[in-house]
Amino acid sequence: MTARLWGIADTAPYMHDGRALTLNDAILMHGGEAQSARDNYAALAEADQAKLLELLLSLRTPKNPAADLSAD
């Protein structure tokens, strides 16, 4: 079962058993039902992988959800 991505930047190490120290490692360790997503990620140019990892690492758990999620 895959956990939601909200707050993923705050949850290292990754995988159900903590064996992936980085998100890159976690993505590349996937197989089974996630094999095609893993393969698509692996086929990306290094710069595109970096952009995706940058996005994932921006998904932090809000410290003050009412303020952090306001629609200002």
pLDDT digit string, tens, across residues 19-52 = 999 999 999 999 999 999 999 999 999 999 999 9
The verdict on residue 22 lying in a domain is: yes
Domain of residue 33: give its range. 8-61
The verdict on residue 68 lying in a domain is: no
Closest-CA residue to 69 (of 7, 23, 4): 7
The verdict on residue 17 lying in a domain is: yes
The DSSP H or E segment spanning 50 is helix 46-57
Number of domains forming the structure of the chain: 1
Phi and psi at 20, nearest 5°, equal -100, 120
Asked if the model's pLDDT at residue 5 lies above 90, the reply is no
Cα(10)–Cα(4) distance, integer angstroms: 12
Contact 21, 12 (CB under 8 A): yes
Q: Which pTM does this prediction carry?
A: 0.78
The per-residue pLDDT for 3 is: 62
